[in-house]
Structure 1
Amino acid sequence: MGSVVISLDAELGWGFHDLAQLPTDRVESGRRGWSQMLSILEHYDVRATWAVVGHLMLESCDGKHADHPTPDGWFGRERTIWADRPGLRFGPDLVGRLLDSEVDHELASHSFSHVLFGDSETTPEIARAELERCHEIADDWGCSLESLVYPRNDVGHRDVLAEQGFRSYRGNSPTPDGVRGFVETTVRNRSLLVEPTVDEYGLVDVPASLFLFGFEGTARTVAESVWKDPMVVQARRGIDQAAADDGDGIFHMWLHPNNLVTERDDERMRSIVKYLDRKRTETDLSVETMADVAARVGADSSVEATDSVVGEI
């Protein structure tokens, strides 16, 4: 039987702080979406991996971060136009609610300041500093971090990730987003299931299956006016495939809390999570976190390696 994973890139303003042009609606929706997603998941008792930008777990800072090796200007927006917007820079209240939830969510990392790990300007020193700072802050909260969701899915410095004690990361989806992905999975019947693997650094790659807000704008409005929400259709398809799978296939959905800008977005997520809850009641389908998958796949890998060695003796 397959399983379903939901991961969220929880970032508030940090997801956009390096951009020249900001998507204002999403910047302003981070807190709203965070609360809405927690409420939806709590209502249906569905666990998820929440990848939180480490800076959000701080109560305050000087805005300079002089000991951080990022290039000059990296924290510029925090010191200037967002200096009086603590709600975009800090979120200990939201993280506290996440950790206090009756649902056993996974607290994962989304880096300290949303650095792009695959960027040519991101050195191993920067990657290491980002992860070390996240561990320090998590320790202060009495938490530990096992999984990383790379900012903007820009995978890089996996050797540093392993060195810093992480066990898993979210790999890129084999299925394109948007209209093209919808056509491939519904018209051409391409499976939405992915298989986790152990990479050369011993990390478990838990690939994404579907970005839940990849079909937006006019295309979404037209589709909903004559049919249904295309993302709900795809999500249900992936859930059904996981429920019917007789192997280790995973349907891994992901989103940002700031994708929930309107009540229409809330309804999309409510419909998907409600359907997931129904299917796991009707079948043996399980809901896992990325840490769950890493523990399971990593253990299987260790057993296989041990059996191989024993067979050679």
Structure 2
Amino acid sequence: MGSVVISLDAELGWGFHDLAEPPTERVEAGRRGWSVMVELFEEFDVPATWAVVGHLMLESCDETHADHPAPAGWFERERTDWAARDDLRFGPDLVADILESDVDHEFASHSFSHVLFGRPETDRELADAELERSRELAAEWNQSIDSFVYPRNDIGHRDVLADHGIAAYRGGSPTRDGVRGVFDSTIRDRSMLVDPAVDEHGLVNVPASMFLFGFEGPARTVAESIWEDPMVALARRGIDEAAHTDGLFHMWLHPNNLTHERDDRRMRAILSHLDSQRSATDLTVETMADVARRVAGPLCVDERATAGWSDD
């Protein structure tokens, strides 16, 4: 019996706050895309893993975070350009939309402030603080954290994840994104499935199969004018492959990828096909935590979560 996982990097402005020139269209689309995805998941009754930046769970802050061991200037944009942009820095209303949904989503972590865990300047103290603060905030929302999605997929400090009781993380995709990725997957008929596995830290790596918005710009416009949305075609192929095997197909996106109605149509087409295959076959939809329980065993995952809170 095959399965499909969908994970989202839910970050609003935090996904771009460290960039010299944040992409305005993507920054402004974060709330729109978040709401659209919540509605689409409810329409098709599809549970997803929402990896949320911890700062979004706050109602307000002092904009300094003096007790946080981040590099100098890390919260600068929050104090300057975005000081009046609460809509980019906070999202308790959006967090509530996930938790109050009729769909049983997984509430996961995308760190506290989108720190890049694989960078040399991110030491163990900073990684620990990012996870600890996220975990504390999640507890205030009566949530525990089983899964972690690395900001910008920059993997590092997996031992720290294990120390905090995390059970699963999203590993890198074995396929390319963009035009080359579409070429490789379509022309070479490369499998879209991935193999989750337990790593040396006892974490379950749930690799990504494909990024759903890796083929954009003029190339996408040309492809859609003469054929169909290539990402929809690839997603359908991955879903079909999972439906007829025992494999796992793992799609991911950011809510801020949905900048226009055509992006909504892409996601609707993918979820509609997923729903059809789920009805016609033994295909299931899992969260990352579900995969971790299946691969490592539910007792192992539960014990890890308990251990992560044992020092509180």
Q: 2:97 and 2:111 mapped to 1: Cα distance?
A: 20
Q: Which residue matches 2:258?
A: 260
**Counterpart AA for 1:19:** L
Q: Which residue matches 2:131?
A: 131
Q: 2:100 and 2:43 mapped to 1: Cα distance?
A: 15
Structure 2 length as normaliser, TM-score?
0.95
Q: Is the 8 A contact 1:49 1:290 kept in 2?
A: yes
Does residue 226 (structure 1) correspond to residue 235 (structure 2)? The answer is no
Q: 2:159 and 2:132 mapped to 1: Cα distance?
A: 14
Q: Which residue matches 1:310?
A: none
Q: 1:197 and 1:300 mapped to 2: Cα distance?
A: 15
From 265, 288, 291, the equivalent of 2:289 is 291
Q: 1:5 and 1:180 mapped to 2: Cα distance?
A: 23
Q: Which residue matches 1:270?
A: 268
Q: 1:32 and 1:278 mapped to 2: Cα distance?
A: 26
Q: What is the CA distance between 1:300 and its match in structure 2?
A: 8.8
DSSP-derived class of the 1:252 partner: strand
- 1:106-147 residue CA offsets vs partner (Å, 9 max, x unmatched): 000000000000001000000000000001001111110000
**Counterpart AA for 2:152:** R
Q: 2:297 and 2:168 mapped to 1: Cα distance?
A: 13
Q: Is the 8 A contact 1:8 1:48 kept in 2?
A: yes
Q: Which residue matches 1:209?
A: 209
**Counterpart AA for 1:266:** D
Q: Which residue matches 2:308?
A: none
Q: 1:73 and 1:92 mapped to 2: Cα distance?
A: 25
Q: 1:70 and 1:299 mapped to 2: Cα distance?
A: 35
DSSP-derived class of the 2:21 partner: coil
1:48-197 matches, within 5 Å, as 48-197=48-197
Q: 1:140 and 1:212 mapped to 2: Cα distance?
A: 32
- 1:127-171 residue CA offsets vs partner (Å, 9 max, x unmatched): 000000001001111110000000000000000000011000000
**Counterpart AA for 2:283:** L
Q: 1:67 and 1:220 mapped to 2: Cα distance?
A: 45
Q: What is the CA distance between 1:301 and its match in structure 2?
A: 11
Q: Which runs of 4+ in 1 moved over 4 A?
A: none
Q: Is the 8 A contact 1:198 1:301 kept in 2?
A: no
- 1:75-106 residue CA offsets vs partner (Å, 9 max, x unmatched): 00001110100000000000001100000000
Q: Which residue matches 1:306?
A: none
**Counterpart AA for 1:70:** A
Q: Which residue matches 2:305?
A: none
Q: Which residue matches 2:22?
A: 22
Q: 1:299 and 1:61 mapped to 2: Cα distance?
A: 39
**Counterpart AA for 2:84:** D
**Counterpart AA for 2:254:** H
Q: What is the CA distance between 1:2 and its match in structure 2?
A: 1.2
Structure 1 length as normaliser, TM-score?
0.95
**Counterpart AA for 1:257:** P
DSSP-derived class of the 2:297 partner: helix
Q: 2:22 and 2:56 mapped to 1: Cα distance?
A: 19
Q: Which residue matches 1:47?
A: 47
**Counterpart AA for 1:230:** P
* Unpaired segments ≥5 residues, structure 2: 301-312
Q: Which residue matches 1:10?
A: 10
DSSP-derived class of the 1:81 partner: coil
> Which one is further off, 175-184 or 164-173?
175-184
* Unpaired segments ≥5 residues, structure 1: 303-313
Q: What is the CA distance between 1:183 and its match in structure 2?
A: 1.3
Q: 2:265 and 2:227 mapped to 1: Cα distance?
A: 16
Q: CA RMSD in A?
A: 1.0
Q: 2:179 and 2:71 mapped to 1: Cα distance?
A: 37
Q: 2:153 and 2:111 mapped to 1: Cα distance?
A: 12
Q: Is the 8 A contact 1:4 1:251 kept in 2?
A: yes
DSSP-derived class of the 1:29 partner: helix
